[in-house]
Amino acid sequence: MTHMRYNPAAIVFIYLLVTISFSVTRGFYSFGAFSSLFVALAIFALYFKWPNSFTILKKLDLKQTLAITLFVSIFLSSIFYGGLYQDKDFLYQVSSYLLPIAALISLTYFTTKKIFSASTRFYLLVLIGISLQVFMVISSPHPIIDVFVMLKYGAISVVNFQNPYSAVFPTVYRGIESNYFSYLPITALVFSPTTIIFSDPRVTLIIANLLIVFIFRKLIGKNHPLASEIIPLLYLFSPQATFLVEQSWVDPLIFSAFASFLFLAYKKKNKVFQTIALALTLGMKQQFLLLLPFIFLFKKASKIVIVGSLATVSVITLFFIMLNPAEFFKDMTLLGNLVILKTNSLSLNAYVHSNWQVNVNIFIFLVVWITGLFLVGINKNKSFSRLTLSVGLYFFIFYFFNYLAYLNYYPFVTGCMLLSSCFAISEGNDTKNGA
């Protein structure tokens, strides 16, 4: 492998630091987790800015780093396994045995002795990883969380030609009427098929995770056979992967759409599919519109695709706004009004509030967010690997210096880091071959 600006092993190592930091408390505030996350952010930012100055990170061996990270990930998955609303039934017991088996299989990556064929080992671990998520959905059929109710009944509303922003869903929390849908309308559309077929929107999340495995493996291909096995598995066996599925959080689906868009752009595939993938990325949660300056300034992204995706999101959103403008804007601003009241997530505001019982002024955060765009160099992304790494770093900054940053926020950051390592390996091989 030829010299690359960013060492994929270093990216994977920082990925592990970040993952451990937010996984140990499931995204809730503790001084230890907050401090660990801050250190990981500092290392990430410094390495991003001066990759050649960190001799230790520069010399990390990719094979060893990948093997260690996979084993640690599966080991932590076995420790943290279990949903908040999961029945301790047969499938729960099966899952508790599957994780140690997966950990044992992962140990074979430390030896050159051939115990399994490469493909057998990889697909066996993929089967275990996906099975764990399927079992979680089956054994936790009715999680008591508003996201699940919004996704399920929002999708049902759309299928029944009703406006999800005007609908009243089954009550989740005592004393609070479930009369809000706080996602952009594309979210209801994209979760409709699995909601109708399986009566559970979370099947969409499992499909999205499987798509990521395919994209990561396809990106690396034969450039680094071991990495093409382990990096997809790192995503699948992230310590809180099954918990994210149980809670119905949509961020993994958004990352899947973003990765699909970049994969198709990198491979120069059909622009219609690129447009659909980018529209899904931008059209589900409001904060992901922050991706626009990164993508627009990236010369390898088609401007036709960008305009087409924005037009798609705009037309669909405007249609739902016109149905009932007051209800739409009420639902869109509801979460924003509640965010500042939540002071127990892994964010700077939680740290400030826990020590001084005050909240950070929004203007301070605005300065950090705007400054962050320039610090990550949004106009300097000449490769897909740097683009994804800069996106990951910026969203890390955006979430950390914010009011709200629970468990579902940071996986987009770590996903971008893994995706960047895939691109770094692939681009390094392209350079070697004179591509």
CA angle 29, 35, 41 (to 5 degrees): 105
What does the pLDDT average to over 190-217?
98
List pLDDT tens digits, range 129-144: 999 999 999 999 999 9
75 pLDDT band, cuts 50/70/90, is very high
Task: Annotate 27-70 with DSSP letters as a single string.
Answer: TB--HHHHHHHHHHHHHHHHHHH-GGG-HHHHT--HHHHHHHHH
What does the pLDDT average to over 85-113?
94
- Which runs of consecutive H residues, i.e. helices, occur in 267-409? 271-282, 292-296, 303-323, 325-339, 348-356, 362-375, 384-400
Question: Residue 109 in contact with residue 226, Cβ under 8 Å?
Answer: yes
Question: Residue 201 in contact with residue 191, Cβ under 8 Å?
Answer: yes
Closest CA to 172 of 197, 149, 188, 151: 149
What does the pLDDT average to over 207-232?
97
Least reliable range by pLDDT among 171-185, 190-204, 290-304: 171-185
Encoding tokens for residue 73?
A: 């990930």
Closest CA to 308 of 351, 354, 355, 275: 275
Residue 1 lies in a domain: no
Q: How far apart are CA 132 and CA 140, in angstroms?
A: 12
- What angle separates helix 8-23 from helix 225-236, to the nearest 10 degrees? 10
Residue 2 lies in a domain: no
What does the pLDDT average to over 352-374?
94
Q: How far apart are CA 375 and CA 287, in angstroms?
A: 19
Write down the pLDDT at residue 335.
59
Closest CA to 207 of 134, 148, 107: 134
Q: Is 368 exposed, middle or buried (0-12, 13-18, 19+ CB in 10 A)?
A: middle
Task: Annotate 125-157 with DSSP letters as a single string.
Answer: HHHHHHHHHHHHHHH-SS---HHHHHHHHHHHH
Secondary-structure percent of the chain, ordered helix, strand, coil, rounded to 5: 70, 0, 30
Phi-psi region of 183 (alpha: psi -120 to 50; beta: other; left: phi over 0): beta
430 pLDDT band, cuts 50/70/90, is low
Q: Is the pLDDT of residue 149 over 80?
A: yes
> How far apart, in Å, are the Cα atoms of 219 and each of 224, 265, 266, 331, 423?
10, 12, 9, 39, 7
Q: How far apart are CA 213 and CA 227, in angstroms?
A: 12
Q: Is the pLDDT of residue 86 over 50?
A: yes
3 pLDDT band, cuts 50/70/90, is very low
Residue found under tokens 């609070």: 176
Write down the pLDDT at residue 45.
96
Q: How far apart are CA 183 and CA 332, in angstroms?
A: 7
Residue 265 lies in a domain: yes
Residue 205 lies in a domain: yes
Which phi and psi (to 5°) does residue 28 adopt? Answer: -90, 155
Write down the pLDDT at residue 113.
81
Q: Is the pLDDT of residue 369 over 80?
A: yes
Question: Residue 124 in contact with residue 165, Cβ under 8 Å?
Answer: no
**Residues belonging to the chain:** 435
Write down the pLDDT at residue 344.
87
What does the pLDDT average to over 197-206?
98
What does the pLDDT average to over 218-243?
96
User: What domain count does the chain have?
Assistant: 1
Least reliable range by pLDDT among 10-24, 66-80, 83-97, 373-387: 373-387
List pLDDT tens digits, range 41-60: 999 999 999 998 888 898 99
Q: How far apart are CA 273 and CA 211, in angstroms?
A: 14
Q: Is the pLDDT of residue 433 over 80?
A: no
Residue 127 lies in a domain: yes
Q: How far apart are CA 287 and CA 250, in angstroms?
A: 13
Write down the pLDDT at residue 52.
87
Write down the pLDDT at residue 429.
63
- Report the share of the chain in percent with pLDDT over 70: 96
Residue 309 lies in a domain: yes
Write down the pLDDT at residue 431.
46
Which phi and psi (to 5°) does residue 42 adopt? Answer: -65, -45
Residue found under tokens 């077929």: 197
Encoding tokens for residue 317?
A: 């959103």
Q: Is the pLDDT of residue 2 over 50?
A: no
Q: Is the pLDDT of residue 341 over 60?
A: no
Write down the pLDDT at residue 4.
45
Question: Residue 139 in contact with residue 133, Cβ under 8 Å?
Answer: no
Write down the pLDDT at residue 434.
41
pTM of the model: 0.95
Full domain range(s) for residue 347: 8-359+367-432
What is the distance, to the nearest Å, from the Cα of residue 216 to the centroid of all Cα atoms in its chain? Answer: 14
List pLDDT tens digits, range 158-189: 999 999 999 999 999 888 888 899 999 999 99
Residue 330 lies in a domain: yes
Residue found under tokens 């609908």: 167
Residue 209 lies in a domain: yes
Write down the pLDDT at residue 336.
52
Question: Residue 410 in contact with residue 399, Cβ under 8 Å?
Answer: yes
Q: Is the pLDDT of residue 251 over 80?
A: yes
432 pLDDT band, cuts 50/70/90, is low
What does the pLDDT average to over 279-308?
96
